[in-house]
A and B are shown apart, each in its own frame.
Chain A
């Protein structure tokens, strides 16, 4: 086939393509060009909106104050010298603590692609526990787990402790044990910094993003002005949708939102707290001695200013109205 012939075919192909796209309507007048008035924006895979996004939460069991935990031992054992037969002694014998963490949540548990090191506020907590057991904060092996894996990993003994933005709740207390509250998060709203919105009530009829299966979706659906909940697979997908202009806001824990602000300075956290999310370090239900020991560790960092140091490092002024003072512990015994 000659080059000329091929070229002609190409031209004919283009014309025919155009003709077919326009439906090839009239015989007279110029041939209509294909007109695209709007392009459907690309969304993250598995993004679902409206009532399909919300799975009604089962009624929460009542257990009194779920944040009340076991008192620390009267005197903390010396690092490297755990009482024999205790859970800590077993961890000490192994040589390292195994902590289930997130490596995908900026500021709390995140693996820096440049250094390949996992770091964040949650990660600091695990380092403090390791330091109390071994005297060396680095004797900890981080196991990246998904939110859904948190309870199963603890039950199977795959991890000693979970430090992964885990909210203390009565439902979860059936399966695992929690330390005292190490961070008091609250559910808030993230909007573009150019937005005038100051409260979730003003987003009636607008789309608000949250992760599939999270309580935030139920909270969004319960707002009286009826915003439209949009569920996505992962929190980071919400920032994608906000940046692509597909949702008007993102609603979740201010800790996660602060991580989004850190990634995109053109966003801001607004509005009052929609729900309280007290975070605790989770441990296997039967490890009472360990829970008590970890509460002792938390007590230590609260008093010494170490907690505030971690707060300033990771959160700083990213959460408007946030406090750099640790929450007060509640004890059940």
Chain B
């Protein structure tokens, strides 16, 4: 591609002239005769013709190659990059939920409730499946050196984690308090090793998604310069011809000009539209999903801390950790913090409604947490545990489930917006790459025919 530009990009270059001259079958070996030839009108017209044909074809080739690559980038965003990022988010979320669920099941007593057991198993399987997607993608990403350590940590520690959780459950079933120590150890492994690795993986994937979005909306410098060069060359050629021949219009060159102006308009409209769609896909899609995912896992970690605090029974104190996360999530009253700012920043109405549901659930949860704390502080441990695990309408578990479900819906909605907008961006460029090539061929043909007609008059 670059090599083909060399002869045409500098028409004053003697070598370029000589090759151009060769194409119209003139004797070329001597610099003198070349200069002489270039000084004549037919000579200049020949050079202009060759230049225009090459420039037009170059524009077409740049157009179809970079255009197609842009469309491919857009299609890949929706078909591959976003699913991989969602898989990383899935690992992060499933692991957080597994941690909260194993703690809930433990707190429920010696006999684990079946639904919690099922949920824990599903979380672990889900994390494993998403991990497989992430590993498959690791060869494909530019950040492979960053991704592999995180993947290794996840792959090697997840079985260790599940082993400790089972040991905790076995001791708990026997009524041995050492079970709670095992559970706290498992939680430590999750919070200090697995979740940071999952977070890192997710951040890398989100960053490559971001970079790919930038790629898809970057300004097409090469194509723009080539197109501009053709337009300028067409303008000067037509002005030269008009002066020389006293004919205002040259049909061939006019068609070529129209083709190139159409290319310009089509490109401008298509690229601007695609850019708008990608920017919406980012703001109401991928960026929002990234923040919602963070909120969701933070909420699950707060839930884990809250339950561990009851499991520790006055041993290790997990309440400060809970309050840090809760304040980060909902501010002082549950309506501020990350959730509050997401709700007010959200553009998409469906998403906004879901986030508001999440805000309400968080508010109820945090106020119920206060009740749990006062029950526990007054010595009513049993009551505190019951309220914490209650799935009834007024129970804490119900609020946490509600919050998670609302966030899940908001994330799904965000992903839908992303897919729709990214597909629209690709749609805005429908047929554009091939269109640019066809128009360029028309321009080349128009230039050739238009100038050839004039050249023939000199024979």
Chain A residues packing against B (C-beta within 8 Å): 1, 6, 9-10, 12-17, 20-21, 36, 39, 42-45, 98, 102-106, 110-114, 116, 141-146, 149, 233-234, 236-237, 239-240, 243, 259-260, 263-264
Contacts and interface: CB of A to CB of B under 8 A. Distances in A.
B19 to A, nearest CB: 43
A105 B184 contact: no
Main secondary structure of the interface of A (DSSP, over half): mixed
Given A17-B138, A42-B160, A104 B180 contact: yes
Q: What are the nearest 7 A-B pairs in CB distance? A: A45-B188, A236-B181, A143-B379, A13-B139, A263-B176, A10-B136, A16-B139
Contacts of A237: 181, 184-185
20 contacts: A9-B140, A17-B135, A17-B151, A21-B152, A42-B160, A43-B185, A44-B181, A103-B313, A104-B312, A104-B315, A105-B177, A114-B110, A143-B377, A144-B313, A145-B314, A149-B314, A233-B315, A236-B177, A243-B178, A263-B176
Contacts of B312: 104, 234
A260 B174 CA distance: 13
Contact of B192 (A6, A45, A110, A233): A45
Nearest to A142: B379
A143 B380 CA distance: 8
A12 B178 contact: no
Nearest to A36: B156
B379 A113 contact: no
A236 B180 contact: yes
Given A13-B136, A42-B160, A103-B313, A263 B185 contact: no
Contacts of B110: 113-114
Contacts of A234: 181, 184, 312, 315-316
Chain B CB within 10 Å, residue with most, of A16, A17, A36, A112: A17
A264 B177 CA distance: 11
Given A106-B176, A146-B314, A263-B178, A113 B109 contact: yes
Contact of A263 (B80, B156, B177, B187): B177
Contact of A98 (B171, B181, B376, B379): B379
Contacts of B317: 146
Nearest to A7: B136
B382 interface: yes
Nearest to B157: A42
A110 B175 CA distance: 10
A139 B177 CA distance: 26
A149 to B, nearest CB: 7
Chain A CB within 10 Å, residue with most, of B80, B174, B316: B316
A106 B177 contact: yes
Given A264-B176, A264-B178, 13 more contacts: A9-B140, A13-B137, A13-B140, A17-B148, A42-B188, A102-B313, A103-B381, A104-B312, A144-B313, A144-B381, A233-B315, A263-B177, A263-B178
Contacts of A12: 139
Contacts of A13: 135-140
Contacts of A21: 148, 152
Contacts of B316: 233-234
Nearest to B168: A240
Interface residues of B, number: 48
Contacts of A113: 109-110, 172, 175
B389 to A, nearest CB: 12
A39 B156 contact: yes
B242 interface: no
Nearest to A116: B382
Contact of A17 (B139, B164, B189, B382): B139
B80 to A, nearest CB: 7
Interface string B321-351: 0000000000000000000000000000000
Contacts of A142: 379
B114 interface: no
A259 B312 CA distance: 17
A25 to B, nearest CB: 16
Contacts of A263: 171, 174, 176-178
Contacts of B109: 113-114, 116
Contacts of A146: 314-315, 317
A236 B178 contact: yes
A106 B178 CA distance: 9
Contacts of A98: 379
Contacts of B40: none
Nearest to A105: B177
B313 A111 contact: yes
Nearest to A263: B176
Contact of A14 (B135, B160, B314): B135
Given A45-B192, A113-B175, A260-B178, A104 B313 contact: yes
B145 interface: yes
Contact of A16 (B132, B138, B174, B182): B138
Nearest to B109: A113
A118 to B, nearest CB: 8
A42 B144 contact: no
Contacts of A42: 160, 164, 185, 188-189
A47 to B, nearest CB: 9
Contacts of B187: 45
A243 B316 CA distance: 20
B432 to A, nearest CB: 23
B85 to A, nearest CB: 16
Given A144-B314, A149-B314, A240-B185, A6 B177 contact: no
A149 B145 CA distance: 48
A44 B185 contact: yes
Contacts of B314: 102-104, 144-146, 149
Nearest to B137: A13
A15 B139 CA distance: 8
A21 B148 CA distance: 8
Contacts of A102: 313-314
Interface string B299-326: 0000000000000111111000000000
Nearest to B188: A45
B145 A20 contact: yes
B3 interface: no
Nearest to A102: B314
B381 to A, nearest CB: 6
Interface in B214-256: none
Nearest to B151: A17
Contact of B79 (A1, A103, A104, A105): A1
B378 interface: yes
A103 B382 CA distance: 12
